[in-house]
Amino acid sequence: MGATIGWRNYKFVAKKELEKVPILSSGIKVALNLMVDRKDKRSGLKTLRTGIDYMKDGIHLCTFPEGTRSVSGRVKDFKNGAFKMAHKAGAPVIPLSIVGAHKVQPTNWMFPCAPSYRRCKVVINKPIESVGLSETELAEKVKQSMIDGLPDDQKPLEKE
């Protein structure tokens, strides 16, 4: 991600479970990234408020709206926290589609098991303004944009 979007002016929203990963947790904390405990509503509200403040201050937030990676690499349902923050801050969303990450870092691996060069790419989709849209409409537009940037083997299966 850093190689695609640069190394400044953004923060990640990460799950609290990453505090258990020795070097990664230190980096997350030192860089003042946001950590959310998905089991604690207070933590979610604090992350929401801090995220909105960051966006209002011009800091971009990188979130992963699925909450966790899928084993197959196919897009899963989105959580609404990222869209709630963007909507309340009046900030646009720039959807990124990550192609092939599941092939170099399976869900049961802590670190990549293969180099990502020529196996993965990040597709930067057109920004979507949050102003004038409901949180649900924003989430749907972002999800569709992300899906459009993926190959067929990563698109969600049609629901019957």
Tokens of 117: 């060069």
pLDDT digits (tens, 9 = 90+) for 61-85: 998 888 887 888 899 999 888 899 9
* Among the listed residues 97, 82, 94, 150, the one whose alpha carbon sits nearest the alpha carbon of residue 126: 94
pLDDT digits (tens, 9 = 90+) for 98-134: 888 888 887 777 666 777 778 888 899 999 999 999 9
Report the b/e string of 23-36 with b at 16+ CB within 10 A. eebeebeeeebbbb
**Domain ranges in the chain?**
2-148
Rounded CA-CA distance 120/137 in Å is: 29
HSE toward the beta carbon, residue 3, CA cutoff 13 A: 7
How many residues belong to the chain?
160
Residue 135 has pLDDT above 80, yes or no: yes
